[in-house]
Amino acid sequence: MKKIFCAFALVLILTGCDMGKKLDNTPTKKVETFLNKYQTLDDDVLDSLDSVIDSETLFNNDQRDKYRDIIKSNYQKMSYKIKEEEIDGNSATVTVEIEVIDYSKIMSESEGYKTEHPDEFLENDEYSESKYIDYRLDKLKTAKEKVKYTMDLTLTKVNDEWIIDDLSKENEAKLNGVYSY
């Protein structure tokens, strides 16, 4: 009797584990996991962020550090709501609404300020990109206003596993709060 009970319990445990894996392998769950990695500053997200920031040739090291901190703060403050999931065979689309800090507004205002006050960004009577970047980073750091964006994330089923497709440039800009319409 004990052997039958143990065998039955083992079947339940294995089935339960398998069911858990199936529940985690939905397009919606994959998108939730993906966005949670941004909110929790997962190592993969930070590595990707570092790669992008390190390739920015206009930033000096101090500016890279400031920008990295600004974007990390945005990721941690991001919120999202899954709106819809559509599955068509091995393809799926998950529509999600995210709310992030509106850096696009600050960047636009900074450009306007630079145009209206060019003398503030001079060094030895020449325009200094570094001075402007410092100004813009200081403005970005104080940003608090949020904006909502809707994103359609596409997924492909490979070997019974849902995989999020590469993000479009538009969706990357939305996640970073720099998307402008």
| 34 in any annotated domain | yes
| Parent domain of 40 | 2-104+143-175
User: Distance between CA atoms of 122 and 68, rounded to whole angstroms?
Assistant: 26
Q: What is the CATH number of the domain that holds 88?
A: 3.10.450
User: Distance between CA atoms of 165 and 15, rounded to whole angstroms?
Assistant: 29
User: Distance between CA atoms of 83 and 153, rounded to whole angstroms?
Assistant: 11
| 169 in any annotated domain | yes
| 119 in any annotated domain | no
| 123 in any annotated domain | no
User: Distance between CA atoms of 23 and 20, rounded to whole angstroms?
Assistant: 5
Q: For residue 153, with 0-12 CB atoms within 10 Å meaning exposed, 13-18 middle and 19 or more buried, which class applies?
A: buried
Report phi then psi at 29, rounded to 5: -65, -40
User: Distance between CA atoms of 11 and 27, rounded to whole angstroms?
Assistant: 27
| 114 in any annotated domain | no
In the prediction, which pLDDT does 21 show?
53
CA proximity to 80, closest of 38, 46, 45, 140: 38
Report phi then psi at 150, rounded to 5: -105, 135
| 116 in any annotated domain | no
User: Distance between CA atoms of 22 and 27, rounded to whole angstroms?
Assistant: 11
Number of structural domains, the chain?
1
What is each CA distance from 167 to 13, 26, 147, 164, 178, in whole angstroms? 37, 18, 19, 8, 15
User: Distance between CA atoms of 111 and 30, rounded to whole angstroms?
Assistant: 38
C-alpha 95, offset from chain centre? 15
From first to last of its 181 residues, the chain has per-residue pLDDT tens of 444 433 333 343 444 444 445 678 999 999 999 999 999 999 999 999 999 898 889 999 999 999 999 999 999 999 999 999 999 999 999 999 999 999 999 999 999 999 999 999 999 999 999 999 999 999 999 999 999 999 999 999 999 999 999 999 999 999 999 998 7
| 115 in any annotated domain | no
| 95 in any annotated domain | yes
Global pTM exceeds 0.85: no
